[in-house]
Amino acid sequence: MATAASSGGPSDHQYVSVKLESPRLAALDLAPHLFGSHPAAGSWDPSKALPMERAAAAIWELSCVLPSRHETLDFKLLLKPKADSSECIVEEGPNRPLGCGSNQVEMTDAVFKLAEKDSLECKVWVETEMLSPFDLAASWKAHQENLQPSRVRGTYDVVMNTETEARDENDFASGLELDLEKYVVPTTPNMGSGVVYAANLTENPRSLLDTGISPNNLIKGDAPLNHYANTKKDVDGRHTPSQEEQKAVFVDRGVGSPRFARPTNETVSTSNIKQDSETKLGMPAAEGAVAAAAVADQMYGPKEDRKLVIVLVGLPARGKTFTAAKLTRYLRWLGHETKHFNVGKYRRLKHGTNQTADFFRGDNKEGVEARNEVAALAMEDMLSWMEEGGQVGICDATNSTRSRRNMLMKMAEGKCKIIFVETICNDQDVLERNIRLKVQQSPDYAEQTDFEAGVRDFKERLAYYEKVYEPVDEGSYIKMIDMVSGNGGQLQINNISGYLPGRIVFFLVNCHLTPRPILLTRHGESLDNVRGRIGGDSSLSEVGEVYSRKLASFVEKRLKSERTASIWTSTLQRTILTAQPIIGFPKIQWRALDEINAGVCDGMTYDEVKKNKPEEYESRRKDKLRYRYPRGESYLDVIQRLEPVIIELERQRAPVVVIAHQAVLRSLYAYFADKPLEEVPKIEIPLHTIIEIKMGVTGVEEKRYKLMDAVNPTAEV
C-alpha–C-alpha distance, residues 299 and 679, integer Å: 27
Nearest to 253 by CA among 350, 334, 332: 332
C-alpha–C-alpha distance, residues 591 and 644, integer Å: 11
For helices 320-333 and 635-651, angle between their N-to-C axes, nearest 10 degrees: 150
C-alpha–C-alpha distance, residues 340 and 349, integer Å: 16
CB 333 within 8 A of CB 639: yes
Which residue among the candidates 122, 416, 425, 511 is catalytic per the annotation? 425
**4: number of Cβ within 10 Å:** 9
CB 682 within 8 A of CB 709: no
Which residue among the candidates 340, 523, 661, 688 is catalytic per the annotation? 523
Which residue among the candidates 91, 157, 337, 396 is catalytic per the annotation? 396
C-alpha–C-alpha distance, residues 610 and 618, integer Å: 8
Q: Is 542 assigned a catalytic role?
A: no
Coil, strand or helix: which one is 96? strand
C-alpha–C-alpha distance, residues 219 and 313, integer Å: 24
Nearest to 713 by CA among 549, 531, 538, 466: 531
Burial degree of 372 (CB within 10 A; 0-12, 13-18, 19+): middle
Q: Is 396 assigned a catalytic role?
A: yes
Q: Is 474 assigned a catalytic role?
A: no
Own/partner long-range contacts of 560-566 (Cβ < 8 Å, ≥24 apart): 562/654, 562/655, 564/653, 564/654, 564/655, 565/654, 565/655, 565/656, 565/657, 566/652, 566/654, 566/655, 566/656, 566/657
Q: Is 425 assigned a catalytic role?
A: yes
DSSP strand E in 264-345: where?
308-313, 338-342
**162: number of Cβ within 10 Å:** 15
Which residue among the candidates 595, 623, 633, 692 is catalytic per the annotation? 595
Count Cα neighbours of 607 within 13 Å in the Cβ-side half-sphere: 3
Going from the C-alpha of 277 to that of each of 177, 262, 293, 357, the distances in angstroms are 52, 13, 20, 44
Dihedral sign from CA coordinates of 562, 568, 574, 576: positive
User: What DSSP line would sit under 498-536, residue for residue?
Assistant: SHHHHHHHHHHTT-----EEEEEEEPPPBHHHHHTB-S-
C-alpha–C-alpha distance, residues 632 and 10, integer Å: 14
User: Which DSSP state fits 186?
Assistant: P
Active-site annotation, residues: 396, 425, 523, 595
